[in-house]
């Protein structure tokens, strides 16, 4: 029997140069697809949006330790102040949504860190002065001290929105508008009906000028009397309702009272409640009529149901910088929370600048 012998072929020599070349090519490909670091968006140079983005990212990274970029913010006693770029965007909206601010309130700045400040108001006087004579036409200044109260709320941003640049840009607009709306809503409430004790003193804390004969109705003659009760020096106005730049006396009523006024007629059977043709602003005797739930309804005794006020007769004190912010992180939902607040106070400084109709004391 013959034996078959298997002969194994020798392995080819290893081409180290080829392997090295392949490794170099692979490294080059990996370098070309490497994940690049995320570039911080510039938002077309909008400082408010840049700050908003940075605050969101830092709050998320720090897991609730808060926004600490003091270099980009103003520190106040109530938190990290909103930088000027963002604060301006918010206050522009507040000044449009807060009734008294929009129509000409006397707004005075208080120093930073203060919770109480004093300011001087003076109607002034002027007249003819004889050559070499004294200034006999003058008024004595009045010192008013206002407590500045904290008003604010909370705004939340979802975890998904924090990670998306476009969402952050859109969210900034939402934040500045909603924060302003909430602040203005509080201002409207307290500037109208605040008690003056641990809160601003509202307009309706002042004495009524006209008392209606009934507790649940008002006549055309009573409305005329109310309109004429406003002191002549406070009947001035600037701009126009049609153009949207009106500054001057305004009417404040509840929606229920406005409904009553809309069907009231004068002695010639004409409706005197008007819907302005150009911008839809409803007026009473040519003055803007604003509905607010903080004004009393007709239908109950002694209620102050119609307020006519020149906002310039109302003094608003606000701390400058006025807006403060604390950024936090919710470990359960992963939402970023924004606690925002202002320091503000207010009261009527000249009661000649307002007139109030009060319903009858008996049914």
Report which listed range, 80-84, 91-95, 275-279, is most confident: 91-95
Does pLDDT of 122 surpass 70?
yes
Domains of the chain (ranges; CATH) run 46-124+137-200+316-348 (3.30.2400), 206-315+351-358 (3.30.2320)
Section 163-181 average pLDDT: 78
Q: For residues 272 and 269, what is the distance between their CA atoms, to the nearest angstrom?
A: 9
User: Which residues, 6 or more positions from 241, have their beta carbon under 8 angstroms from its beta carbon?
Assistant: 276, 279, 281, 283, 286, 288
Q: For residues 115 and 319, what is the distance between their CA atoms, to the nearest angstrom?
A: 8
Evaluate whether 222 touches 215 at the Cβ level (below 8 Å): no
Does pLDDT of 7 surpass 60?
no
Q: What is the mean pLDDT of the chain?
A: 81
Each residue's pLDDT tens digit, 274-305: 665 545 678 888 899 999 999 999 988 999 99
- Tokens in use for 268? 């010639």
CB-based burial label for 8 (10 Å; 0-12, 13-18, 19+) = exposed
Angle between helix axes 84-97 and 165-193 (nearest 10 degrees) is 50
pLDDT of residue 121: 87
Using 50, 70 and 90 to split pLDDT, how confident is the model at 72? very low
Section 92-96 average pLDDT: 90
Does pLDDT of 76 surpass 70?
no
Using 50, 70 and 90 to split pLDDT, how confident is the model at 164? low
Percent of the chain with pLDDT over 70: 79
Does pLDDT of 150 surpass 80?
yes
Q: For residues 235 and 284, what is the distance between their CA atoms, to the nearest angstrom?
A: 14
Section 228-252 average pLDDT: 92
pLDDT of residue 244: 81
Q: For residues 287 and 237, what is the distance between their CA atoms, to the nearest angstrom?
A: 10
- Tokens in use for 296? 């009393």
Does pLDDT of 273 surpass 80?
no
pLDDT of residue 202: 97
Q: For residues 205 and 346, what is the distance between their CA atoms, to the nearest angstrom?
A: 12
Evaluate whether 244 touches 363 at the Cβ level (below 8 Å): no
Q: What is the CA radius of gyration of the chain?
A: 33
Section 171-176 average pLDDT: 82
């Amino acid at each position: 029997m013959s034996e078959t012998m298997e002969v194994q072929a020798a392995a080819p020599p290893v081409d180290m140069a080829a392997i090295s070349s392949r490794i170099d090519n692979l490294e080059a490909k990996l370098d070309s697809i490497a994940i690049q670091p995320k570039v911080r968006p510039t938002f077309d140079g909008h400082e408010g949006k840049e700050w908003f983005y940075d605050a969101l990212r830092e709050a998320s990274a720090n897991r609730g330790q808060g926004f600490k970029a003091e270099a980009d913010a103003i520190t106040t006693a109530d938190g990290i102040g909103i930088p000027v770029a963002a604060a301006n965007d918010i206050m522009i909206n507040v000044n449009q949504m807060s009734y008294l601010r929009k129509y000409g309130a006397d707004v005075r700045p208080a120093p930073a860190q203060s919770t109480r400040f004093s300011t001087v108001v003076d109607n002034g006087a002027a007249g003819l002065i004889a050559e070499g004579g004294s200034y006999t036409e003058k008024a004595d200044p009045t010192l008013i001290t206002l407590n500045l109260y904290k008003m604010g709320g909370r705004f939340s941003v979802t975890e998904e929105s924090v990670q998306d640049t476009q969402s952050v840009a859109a969210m900034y607009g939402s934040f500045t508008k909603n924060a302003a709306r909430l602040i203005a809503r509080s201002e409207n409430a307290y500037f109208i009906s605040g008690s003056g004790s641990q809160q601003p003193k509202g307009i309706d804390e002042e004495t009524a000028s006209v008392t209606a004969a009934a507790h649940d109705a008002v006549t055309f003659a009573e409305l005329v009397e109310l309109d004429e009760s406003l002191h002549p020096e406070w009947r001035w106005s600037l701009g126009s309702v049609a153009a949207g730049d009106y500054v001057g006396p305004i009417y404040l009523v509840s929606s229920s009272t406005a409904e009553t006024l809309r069907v009231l007629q004068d002695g010639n059977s004409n409706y005197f409640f008007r819907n302005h043709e150009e911008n839809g602003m409803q007026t009473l005797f040519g003055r803007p009529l604003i509905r607010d739930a903080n004004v009393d309804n007709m239908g109950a005794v002694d209620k102050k149901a119609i307020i006519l006020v020149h906002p310039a007769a109302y003094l608003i004190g606000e701390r400058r910088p006025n807006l403060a912010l604390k950024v936090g992180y919710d470990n359960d939902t992963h939402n970023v929370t924004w606690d925002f607040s202002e320091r503000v106070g207010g009261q009527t400084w000249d009661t000649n600048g307002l007139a109030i109709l009060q319903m009858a004391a008996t049914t």
